Amino acid sequence: MNLNGKSVVVTGGNTGIGAAIVRALAASGAAVVIDYVSRPEDAADLVKTITASGGRAVGVEADVSSVAGIDKLIQTAVDEFGQLDAFVNNAGIEKRHSLLEVDEQTFDQVMAVDLKSAVFGTQRAAKRFIEQGRGGIVVNISSVHEDWPMPGNLSYCVAKGGMRMLTRAAGVELGPQGVRVVNVAPGAVDTPINAQTMKDDSLRQTLEDSIPLRKVAEPNQIGEVVAFVISDAGSYLTATTVFVDGGIMHGSVGL
Ligand SMILES: NC(=O)c1ccc[n+]([C@@H]2O[C@H](COP(=O)([O-])OP(=O)(O)OC[C@H]3O[C@@H](n4cnc5c(N)ncnc54)[C@H](O)[C@@H]3O)[C@@H](O)[C@H]2O)c1
């Protein structure tokens, strides 16, 4: 993939899928703004590795549940790399509860990190792209749960379902201005958000038995797809979702 000269923001870019996206983009030549809210050492390590191999990256602490945090990331991309070409809404949290259990505070928290951040990340990036006059792309990291109900994970499913419609509505609105908006929807990936399932051998086995490809994804298998979507090879994708799930949505068990 050739992303030479592109400047990209990745939210929650210091761990898990975000870090894999950062690595894939940098390996393709993009300059990357790595957002983090915790574990600054992970962001620093990524910056060190990327710059040591001749790439460009900078770590920035910003909470994307506030619009001010999003604006800070975009301003950094412009200050450090002169422009913004792509924005990846990757940051997310998961709080397990059913509809009957969920409380107002937890629901608001999940919505703020998983959905509000994507709405305003898309809006702020699009405004910048339009100002620059060269188009651009927003990639939203949703989930198979943008479409697939998961009992006991109500707020997360509602947020990812909202992201599904955000991408379709924004892609249709912004297409005429050369701005693409695409969801990349992972199935099960071995990252910190899934730590409980991943470290329980029996749960992991049940999960893998339900996946047609019979294994949980490695984060780089998502990162490579995001690099493709941002690149010219993905230039006709918009207002849609690319599922990267090993076939889990069509598997037989599901967790
Ligand atoms: N791991 C999976 O199986 C899986 C499957 C489908 C979708 N996803 C999605 O992938 C994305 C990345 O998750 P992950 O699996 O890499 O887990 P992760 O916990 O490693 O990544 C989430 C990142 O978001 C960051 N974050 C949380 N709140 C934030 C805030 N307010 N501002 C900025 N950053 C914040 C965290 O610090 C972390 O870096 C999430 O949106 C998640 O829903 C993950």
- Kindly tell me if the per-residue pLDDT of 254 is higher than 60: no
**Residue 39 Cα: closest atom of ligand 1:** 37
Distance 17 CA to ligand 1 centre (A): 7
Can you read off the two tokens belonging to residue 102? 């969920």
Q: What is the pLDDT of residue 107?
A: 98
Residue 227 lies in a domain: yes
Q: 243 with 196: CB under 8 angstroms?
A: no
Does residue 72 sit within a domain?
yes
Question: Domain range spanning residue 41?
Answer: 7-250
Is residue 153 included in any domain, yes or no?
Answer: yes
Q: Look at ligand 1, atom 17, and give the residue with the nearest C-alpha.
A: 193
Instruction: Give yes or no for residue 121 CB within 6 A of ligand 1.
Output: no
Asked whether residue 1 is assigned to any structural domain, the reply reads: no
CB-ligand 1 contact for 89 (6 Å cutoff): no
Q: What CATH number corresponds to the domain at position 217? A: 3.40.50.720
Let me know: does 31 contact 8? Beta carbons within 8 Å. Answer: yes
Least confident residue range of 34-43, 161-170, 200-209: 200-209
Alpha helices in 64-138 (DSSP H): 67-81, 104-110, 117-132
Q: Is 55 touching ligand 1 by the criterion CB < 6 Å?
A: no
Using most ligand atoms within 8 A of CB, pick from 15, 89, 199 the residue to mutate for ligand 1: 15
Mean pLDDT of the chain, nearest integer: 96
Of the chain, the percentage scoring pLDDT greater than 70 comes to 98
207 within domain boundaries: yes
Query: Looking at the predicted structure, is the pLDDT value of residue 253 above 80?
Result: no
* Model confidence band, residue 33 (pLDDT cutoffs 50, 70, 90): very high
pLDDT in tens, 61-113: 999 999 999 999 999 999 999 999 999 999 999 999 999 999 999 999 999 99
**Does residue 248 line the site of ligand 1, with CB under 6 A?**
no
State the total domains in the chain. 1
Band (pLDDT 50/70/90 cuts) for residue 252 is low
Alpha carbon distance 178, 70 (integer Å): 21
